[in-house]
């Protein structure tokens, strides 16, 4: 494990964590899905606005979350020796399916939430993880 951690490029991880963070910002902005997300929310907008999340706290949590996702992805890609882009995409999709899509779909089904809302929420991390896996693989190839 020490060898794997030693070979992780933390500059790449930080750059991709920032990318992942801003992808989420863009994903939930009016540029992409903000309006549709709000329309499919199973909560009146007034109720949502009455419970604002302190922005510094939210941004800090999302920054740490983004870093950890990319860091763990980099470790898994190293362990799996993913040196080809298609292999990284397959691993990223398998990870996403196993750890994001299936558990969250079980919750979605049990809670009977809006399907569009579910898709907006969970295609963001899958998209971010797949794109990040491709970039990590390409950067690793260029570094060799």
* 31-84 residue pLDDT tens: 999 999 988 887 777 777 777 778 888 899 999 999 999 999 999 999 999 999
At residue 22 the predicted structure's pLDDT band, cuts being 50, 70 and 90, is very high
pTM for the structure as a whole: 0.89
What's the half-sphere exposure (Cβ side, CA atoms, 13 Å) at 100? 20
- With bands split at pLDDT 50, 70 and 90, how would you rate the model's confidence at 135? very high
Better-scored residue on pLDDT, 52 or 19: 19
**8 near 76, Cβ under 8 Å?**
no
Q: What is the DSSP string of 41-86?
A: -SS-HHHHHTSPPPHHHHHHHHHHHHHHHHHHHHHHHHHTT--SHH
3-class DSSP state of 29: coil
pLDDT band at 18 (very low <50, low <70, confident <90, very high): very high
């Amino acid at each position: 494990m020490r060898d794997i951690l030693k070979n992780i490029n933390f500059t790449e991880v930080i750059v991709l964590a920032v990318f992942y963070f801003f992808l989420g910002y863009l994903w939930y902005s009016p540029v992409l899905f903000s309006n549709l997300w709000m329309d499919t929310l199973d909560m009146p907008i007034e109720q949502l606005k009455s419970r604002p999340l302190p922005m510094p706290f939210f941004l800090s949590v999302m920054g740490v979350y983004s870093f950890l996702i990319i860091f763990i992805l980099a470790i898994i890609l190293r362990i799996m020796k993913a040196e080809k882009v298609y292999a990284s995409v397959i691993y990223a999709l398998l990870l996403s399916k196993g750890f994001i899509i299936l558990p969250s779909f079980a919750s979605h089904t049990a809670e009977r939430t809006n399907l569009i809302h579910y898709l907006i929420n969970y295609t963001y991390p899958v998209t971010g993880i797949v794109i990040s896996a491709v970039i990590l693989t390409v950067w690793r190839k260029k570094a060799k």
